[in-house]
Amino acid sequence: MKRTAVVTAGTAGIGLETALGLAAAGLAVTVVGRDRVRGAHAVERIDATAPAHPARFLAADLASLDEVRALAARLGEDGPPAVLVNNVGAMFPRRQDSVDGIEASFAVNHLSPYLLTELLVPALRAGAPSRIVNVTSAAVGVARRTFEAVEPPGGYYGFHWYGRAKLANLAYTLELARRLDGSGVSVFAADPGGAATDMTRGTMDDPRIVSPGLRLLWPLVRRRFERSTSGPASLAARSSVHAATAPSLTGRTGIVIGAGVEPVPPSRVAADPRVAEAVRRLSERLAPVGTV
């Protein structure tokens, strides 16, 4: 029986390497992205490895909640997926809004995977055993921890706001694991560590992406970050592939897989039920699930 996997932002970088790993594991892979040309190249690269099943591409701008809903509906037509990897992520040096008028970092890094996942949960339940993998980041450690509103107080600093959106998504991931425990749907977070990708190239050179308190130390921090992101995307994808396919994780849930492809302790803040509740309320208000 054919088992399917969906990888968002799967046309390049860590997402494409994740898709290649899942295809090598025997899954029929759908990669999602905005650019049809890159999507076609991704499919060609996956199919060149002679996988058990041909890959396919679906176009969607995951910064748009309407397009996320349309994508979920399209995926729902194909029957239950076995694996959903929410790999989408973006860091913005300057504040901008999504097409829905929501601050873009929060929209792309949390609301998009949150909404897609919630819309696909019924199908994932129906196709159990299945797995959800949400890609997280060490940037959660510099995040503001308030979620009463989409934007925290104070000025906009892209690195911190990226971390806050990833923190929201990690808190959601851990809460979702608790909610789906016993359903046959396992939920994991995967920390890729770092790799040289389109997101990291150039972005980290802009000192305005960090708060003034960190700015004096930024040259040192940036050098350390660049060393950690100099490896190939194939290494950074290992945590996601492991979370999606490893037999040792069968029947387990709510685990963060670190860059070393081993379980690591989750952020204490992300594991706080009060944070999860605040994230849930904000997410439901900004991206109501409704029906597919």
At residue 212, the 3 state secondary structure works out as helix
Which of these, 228, 7, 282, lies nearest to 131 by C-alpha position? 7
DSSP state of 261: S
The length of the chain is 292
Select which of 114, 157, 162, 172 is catalytic: 162
Beta-strand runs (E) in 36-86: 56-59, 83-86
Would you state the structure tokens that stand for residue 79, as one six-digit string? 């029957």
Contact between residue 161 and residue 109 where contact means Cβ atoms under 8 Å apart = no
The rounded distance, in Å, linking the Cα atoms of 248 and 256 is: 14
Which of these, 171, 170, 143, 147, lies nearest to 157 by C-alpha position? 143
How would DSSP label each residue in 142-198? G-----SSSS-SS---HHHHHHHHHHHHHHHHHHHHHHHTTTTEEEEEE-------T
What angle (nearest 5°) sits at the alpha carbon of residue 15, between those of residues 99 and 1? 110
Q: Is 156 a catalytic residue?
A: no
Q: Which H or E run includes 33?
A: strand 28-33
What residues are annotated to the active site?
162
